[in-house]
Structure 1
Amino acid sequence: MRRPDRLLRFCAPLELVTLAVLLTNVGALHLEAVASAVGPLHGCAYLIVVLTTAREPDADRRTVALSAVPGIGGVLALRRLTANRTSLRRG
């Protein structure tokens, strides 16, 4: 059993943080520069999370579908992959 891919471990929290920045910008700041800088970063992180989750050997359909939920889905899928590997080692 190996840990989830390094790229997934990096991009899942990044996707969540960038979504929070975008929502804060929409709700309070309304800065075009923030949206134009963080928007593409969030989009790329989202796509990387979904694709790297789908490539994980232990990822089932539910985990891949969970990773497609914007923002929190990548973190939840990463947590699920880590929990599955931990339970396989113990049992």
Structure 2
Amino acid sequence: MRALRIAAAVELVTLAALLVNLFTVHTEAVSSLGGPLHGTAYLTVIALTWATTPVNTTRGTRSRSVIPGVGGLLVLRRHRRGAHRRRPADIR
């Protein structure tokens, strides 16, 4: 979960930096560094979500990971909620 938290934070920060750069000065160096970094963080969030989320979890957890920028944060929130709420059939 720690790796997912880090990747989600990097994804969000790099997206924000890219958008601020796009709408202000549009420096090519920021785009050249931030673009691949954001893409890598985005793919890492998706891969970690699919690798760590069991198939029988709440519907939509895995699909939330593909939302750019905030998908990782939504998955973390869903994991946090799921950890506190368990169905009686899950506890044996």
Into which bin does the TM-score normalised by the smaller protein fall? Answer: 0.7 to 0.9
| Structure 2 gap segments, 5+ residues each | none
Shift of 1:81: 0.9
Q: Identify the residue that residue 16 of structure 2 maps to in structure 1.
A: 20
Task: Name which of 52, 65, 68 aligns with 1:67.
Answer: 65
Deviating beyond 3 angstroms after TM superposition, the runs of 4 or more aligned structure 1 residues are: 57-61
Shift of 1:77: 0.9
Contact between 1:18 and 1:41, CA under 8 Å: does it hold in 2?
yes
Cα RMSD between the aligned structures? 1.9
- TM-score by length of structure 2 reads 0.84
Larger Rg: 2
Shift of 1:87: 1.5
Q: Distance in 1 between matches of 2:35 and 2:53?
A: 30
Greater relative contact order (Cα < 8 A, sep 6+): 1
Normalized per residue, which structure has more helix?
1
* 1:40 partner SS: helix
Q: Identify the residue that residue 74 of structure 2 maps to in structure 1.
A: 76
* 1:44 partner SS: helix
Contact between 1:58 and 1:81, CA under 8 Å: does it hold in 2?
no
Percent of pairs with identical residues? 47
Task: Name which of 32, 38, 45 aligns with 2:34.
Answer: 38
- Count of aligned pairs: 86
Q: Distance in 2 between matches of 1:28 and 1:57?
A: 38
- TM-score by length of structure 1 reads 0.85
Task: Name which of 7, 20, 24 aligns with 2:3.
Answer: 7
